[in-house]
Chain A
């Protein structure tokens, strides 16, 4: 997960959508508080109107990653709920 400081407009969407409080916004700029808590869900990047955040989103799921390896495609857990 990367945050491009120059592009950030400080709107606070990343802080709002992150379920692990990775971001904080102060003085109209987002800052990364706790990178280790990030689970790469991509909510911040998806909702950043300035496209200042990039994440390679995916599922943190061993079965999905194994399926991906075996089928040679994108990890998919097919989790039904």
Chain B
């Protein structure tokens, strides 16, 4: 199946009544860190998986808890690290290398896969209890009562974050209200910004090529010199707009006014563009300055709107409603900016 089985996290095998099971440790090595860094930038993300199945952490016996997770290696690493010191079984579902939340949405972290994996690993012969602990964010894909019907194991939803797993178990499988709630800290948002940029590289490249072409248009039909000078300025504005929408907006998300991401992004882009206009006021003629202001606002607003997919609190109906309002405004601002910018070249 092409699973890249990076066995650096496996340090032995544990015997069970149905054969031996790979044992994992809780250490995160340089290879894991490098892998994490790469997938954060979108490198090799599709292949970053562990083989689905059962793993042993520590020295689990028949009474040890069974923690169910995804086979995205980033997720798997977080779980084995957060569960350090526990003797537990880790059941990695085949989510095709996707995290728990997204896989639950797609249904791969789902009822059928839980039943299939429990049956295939012959878990009922390995543990004497009949309980699985699932991450709470897997719940959109799993019907607890169906799992029980399908394989005899009852599902207990653990905390949202695996770092609470030990407190959860110590409290007798009770999650405090804060363990049940999704948070989205500055750090959580910051680690998601590289992939936002990576995802935009290709469309941004096409947009940049288009801008260079447009930049050459002027009274002399087409000028290579103008294409270069004015094109560079326009591409810089595009880059700044992307940074405003993909980095500044996510990081400052709770403090930017408004509820809509497009409004937050537009404000961030507009304010930054305002600063840029002030800074370069000697070099910019008024139409170009206005074009810069409008374009950066529109680009940042559009890019910020895409961050809705990374957050754990936007609803599909809400995002669609926002898009129906925001897209025409963003398109209008962009066209206006383009007219001002190209038109400005003829006025000089």
Contacts and interface: CB of A to CB of B under 8 A. Distances in A.
A53 B317 CA distance: 17
B98 A62 contact: no
A60 B140 contact: no
Interface stretch (B82-90, B204-212, B307-315): B307-315
A60 B39 contact: no
Interface string B152-163: 000001001000
B311 A60 contact: yes
B141 A46 contact: yes
Contacts of A39: 312-315, 318
B317 A40 contact: yes
Given A17-B139, A81-B102, A60 B315 contact: yes
Interface string B129-173: 000000011011111110000000000010010000000000000
B305 A81 contact: no
Contacts of A46: 139-143
Contacts of B48: 81
B177 interface: yes
Nearest to B322: A62
B45 interface: yes
Interface residues of B, number: 48
B26 interface: no
A79 B100 CA distance: 11
Interface in A9-66: 13, 16-21, 37-43, 46-47, 49, 56-66
Interface residues of A, number: 34
Nearest to A50: B145
Given A19-B181, A39-B312, A39-B315, A62 B140 contact: no
Contact of A60 (B46, B97, B309): B309
Of B72, B177, B182, B310, the most chain A CB neighbours within 10 A belong to B182
Contacts of A77: 102, 309
Contacts of A49: 145
B69 interface: no
Contacts of B143: 46-47
B105 A59 contact: yes
Of A38, A75, A80, the most chain B CB neighbours within 10 A belong to A80
Given A46-B143, A60-B314, A75-B316, A20 B97 contact: no
A42 to B, nearest CB: 5
Given A46-B141, A81-B48, A40 B315 contact: yes
B320 interface: yes
Given A60-B314, A60-B319, A75-B316, A81 B309 contact: no
B213 interface: no
Nearest to B73: A81
Contact of A80 (B98, B157, B261, B308): B98
Of B45, B75, B102, the most chain A CB neighbours within 10 A belong to B102
Given A49-B145, A57-B140, 6 more contacts: A19-B136, A19-B312, A39-B312, A39-B313, A47-B143, A81-B98
25 contacts: A16-B175, A18-B180, A40-B317, A41-B105, A41-B139, A43-B104, A43-B136, A46-B143, A47-B139, A57-B105, A59-B316, A60-B309, A60-B315, A61-B306, A61-B314, A61-B316, A62-B261, A62-B309, A63-B306, A65-B320, A75-B316, A76-B106, A77-B102, A79-B309, A81-B39
Interface of B: 39, 45-46, 48, 72, 74-75, 97-99, 102, 104-106, 136-137, 139-145, 157, 160, 175, 177, 180-182, 261, 305-306, 308-320, 322-323
